[in-house]
Structure 1
Amino acid sequence: MQFEYTPKVEALRQQIQAFMQEHVFPNEALYEQQVEECGWTTTPLMHELKAKAKAAGLWNFFLPVSFGQYSGGLTNLEYAPLAELMGHNGWASEIFNCSAPDTGNMEVLAKYGTPAQQQQWLVPLLNGEIRSAFAMTEPDVASSDATNIETTITRDGDDYIINGRKFYISGACRDECKILIVMGKTDPNHSNRHLQQSQVLVPIDTPGVTVVRPMKVFGYNDAPEGHAEIVFEDVRVPVENIILGEGRGFEVAQGRLGPGRIHHCMRSIGAAQRALEMICQRANSRVVFGRPMSKQQSVREDVARAAVEIEQCRLLTLKAADMMDKAGNKGARELIAMIKIAAPSMALKVIDRAIQIHGAAGLGQDTFLAQMFAWQRVLRLADGPDEVHMMQLGRDLMARHQEF
């Protein structure tokens, strides 16, 4: 694996870095103000910055070259340092049309969608004209095991009828969310429990779809994105809305979650890196007990530990991305599991140190620390909790040394 950035990637890094410095960091307070005013509607600032990024060609980096005509033109390894820069801010990835859950849904449509599905939903998503959500998690079952999903998708002539309840469905509260990818069971009695599930496209304005409420995260409603509880009551969609075919929902989910997991980790590195920079700036500007904070031994140790932990996770992220390019998502699953276990927990530790260094200021709305801490805690559950990744990784590693 080459650690040096190619000229193409270095040029894009500089462009994104300059964009963040000029348009994002100076407008963080304005963005939060507009969110309070706009609620579940995308803010005017976001629309303005998306237009600037798109005009500059800073758009849709996340789709790897293997996705053909829809590719962003980058490998996973090339995308990693760009996503890290976007992770310096909680909403910056949306500016470049590289934010979840849309990225995962676009990958699903680009990889598995029919031409008609791609034209109707993928093209407007790629253009940043609409938003989407992925409806898998349910309140009544352990959804980290997707085979537990209870939502039913029943064939009725030329339609499917969907019934079920989902919650913490990221993005579904947003006014611009137009399409849901819903996971449910088309054949709940199939002997192979991994062939019971299917995924189907459901326009959010379909009769019977009810967004019940936004679920809060540590007190945040996370507007304008939101995490919705949704009820599906006799929701009827045409059979053409099935993705890939009946019984292939688990396959689609696995294909979707691998890239999504590592994208989150790339941004976690960026969040931790910014927190470290904030620690250094704060420590160099504050005097405590008659000495600059930067001269306190415990502070220096915090800085050193954070730098080591960030670099370890950065290198593991790059290695996992490189393996995805060489061996595919399945071939890289162990490395993806490792970084998904490591990166959010690392970011939480670094951000927690930054909050401590900032004192009461670290708890409030004047820095990104408190909100980013909440989001990184979410990532220890999103796309599978730590325990599931450790269980699967441990199982695979033990299998290699099993005695026959």
Structure 2
Amino acid sequence: MKTLIKNGNISTTKNEMTKADLWLEDGIIKGIGTDFSELEFDQVYDAKNQLITPGLVDVHVHLREPGFTYKETIKTGTQAAARGGFTTVCAMPNLDPVPDTAEKLTALYDLIKKDAVVHVKQYAPITEKLRSEVLTDQAALKKAGAFAFTNDGVGVQTAGTMYLAMKEAAKQNLALVAHTEDDSLLFGGVMHQGKVSERLGLPGILSATESSQIARDVILAEATGVHYHVCHVSTKESVRVIRDAKRAGVHVTAEVSPHHLLLTDEDIPADFGYWKMNPPLRAKADQAALIEGLLDGTIDCIATDHAPHGFEEKNQSFLKAPFGIVGSETAFQLIYTHFVTTGRFTLEQVIDWMSRKPAEIFGLTAGTLTVGQAADIAVFDLDHEEKIDEHKFASLGVNTPFIGWPVKGNTLMTFVDGQLVYNKED
């Protein structure tokens, strides 16, 4: 089937727009130009002079199925991704059952194949059931389709376990992806340790809870030669450790989430669970360090950490609510509105951090808009402003403090392998 996306604009490295039409056929991009009038197309879509980008790539989402389908399903989670312009997502393994054997991972991929509307790469856990010290069979999990290894949601507490896991991951040539959190430094914390936690009378989470484990891990990564990737960096100390490790030649990459770029603990108005996330919203100095880290290459990409929960779970105090914030449907829009339109980031930088770079660091065939590549494409409206409306979410989770925020850059259409999987007009 021949498909044409006409009247589009592509962002260039000079942060300028170039007019372009896209010819899609057999799941790939067959042509990028301005005149395909001699060809006959089965389907024609009008981009309405708006932005066409490679489909966005999110290396950190929680789809919650199996085990927690009241929070999210593979179908609703990937529909939410498509609504946000994402065509590839990488799903975390904190599920029930945890996909810690080849058989369980194969069964999970069967569900993904049946219900996903975007490409899903599935992480496998580092240790059995996530919280144990028993390593999984990485070779068998790789053969079953594991994208990388992570215990996201909890930190690997024992250095010896992490060292052995890194050695094996290096042998398998797969990344070891870390949620860094030293349980011995938590002290029951539920938000960032600082003046706001003191004002609200809530136990705080030290910055060292995160950064101390990164410091341990980069030394182990250097010793093992593994590709070590740090999830959702949130503190200035973490940025410093990662920067120093990169300068020393350690193969370390890192991601930052939109909420840590946009918000600080000072924005938290009250003791309300929608503001509870892990890692927590940090101080202004941390936020500044994250932005600087993105700009100087210390932090490689932006990832949402889309973490849906049930309404009643989140609609309570910090002490009772679970950690987590949804982000698939709001990430590009928020970053574009608050950083590109204000001149702090260029549009090309944002597209790079949210498509090409995450694909590149994990070796994915995604994130580029070139002839011969998969026709994974997003179209964004950069002009019209509308408010974030949870009633329009495809996700089952609405747990975000960004509800009601005015944004531009909303998704018009998303194509996966040349097939339209989201259309705002539908």
Given the two structures, how large is their TM-score scaled by the length of structure 2? 0.25
Structure (1/2) with the larger helix percentage: 1
Structure (1/2) with the larger strand percentage: 2
Which structure exhibits the higher relative contact order, with contacts defined as CA atoms closer than 8 Å and separated by 6 or more residues? 2
Given the two structures, how large is their TM-score scaled by the length of structure 1? 0.26
